[in-house]
Amino acid sequence: MTSFRGRLWSRLEAVCRFMPVIVNTVLVVSITGEVMYLVMVEAPLEPEQKERDWAPLWKGVHLASQIFMFGNILWNASLFLRTSPSIRGVFLEGSAVGQGWRYCYACETHIPPRCSHCYDCKVCVLRKDHHCVFFGQCVGFKNYRYFLSCLLFMWAGLLYAVVLNVEVFIIILKEGITPHSVLLLLMPWIMLITGQVTARAFAFAFVADTCVVGCLCVSAFLFFHVALMLRGQTTREWYSNQRPYSLGWRRNILECLGERWYVAWLCPLIPSPFPGDGIHFLVTAPPSGVRSDNVNSGKN
């Protein structure tokens, strides 16, 4: 019985680990499909505008933009999940153990500065930023570029979707601000369950609401991580209010996005090698607990 429960719990844990990825994929596909439908069929409201503002050329431009953003989101997310930021496969024992190195009793090895153990991934992560619950994986040295690029294109796609879904909000509020329109905007599920709206109206209202909420949430995450990147900080270092690894905004970007940082964000297939190895870092200020005479200056 114990072994059966253990196997059952292990399977449930594996399913729950991939559930956020599945939910996010469904939402991205749904929003992209709804926006494409708005461009091809519904938009705009007035028939004369269809001929004037939504000619086939403009529809092609809109569709190409959506496909570009959608492809970048999925590609960056895929590379993020396939790129392990952990110490597995990284030769650490030959490295000179110096200031800032610690011993991880869970992994039974010495780990370099900015490396930390993740109890969800059950391994130490190089330059650990945080464990992303939406992807079910840690954000670290090797996959930070893909994480940030995915956030960027998710934000651009959601902002684009919000602009196009303005038409949906106009249709809902065309009758005025009534209890029916307000409830449809704020609680579309209740309106569907009680039979107040059709499934089609519910789908449009739900996706439009998801676009607005998602855009606000992703905006907060994106701007926060861009600020961290410019400051040369990880989320963990931001919590402790430390900036010992800041080398100036240009070098900080290069450390996160690689040598071709100025174009690397356009496509995840553009090669952009990192200047470091995720083990050794230049410092410009002594981290907490480290004497200032042991700090190597590396500011440009």
Query: What rounded mean pLDDT belongs to the chain?
Result: 82
Report yes or no on 231 lying in a domain: yes
Number of domains observed in the structure of the chain: 1
Report yes or no on 125 lying in a domain: no
Residues catalogued as catalytic: 132
119-174 pLDDT, tens digit per residue, is 888 899 999 999 998 888 999 999 999 999 999 999 999 999 998 888 778 777 77
Report yes or no on 120 lying in a domain: no
Name the token pair of 164.
Answer: 């196009």
Residue 163's contacts (CB-CB under 8 Å, 6 or more residues apart) are none
242-290 pLDDT, tens digit per residue, is 788 998 999 999 999 999 999 999 999 999 999 888 888 888 765 554 4
Report yes or no on 250 lying in a domain: yes
Where does 71-213 show beta strands of DSSP type E?
102-104, 109-111, 116-118, 123-125, 130-132, 137-139
Report yes or no on 106 lying in a domain: no
Report yes or no on 95 lying in a domain: no
**C-alpha span between 5 and 1 (Å, rounded):** 6
Structural domain for 277, as ranges: 16-84+141-294
Amino acid at 105: Y
Asked if pLDDT for residue 65 goes beyond 70, the answer is yes
**C-alpha span between 284 and 300 (Å, rounded):** 10
Whole-structure pTM value = 0.83
Nearest to 59 by CA among 47, 46, 73, 42: 42
Report yes or no on 93 lying in a domain: no
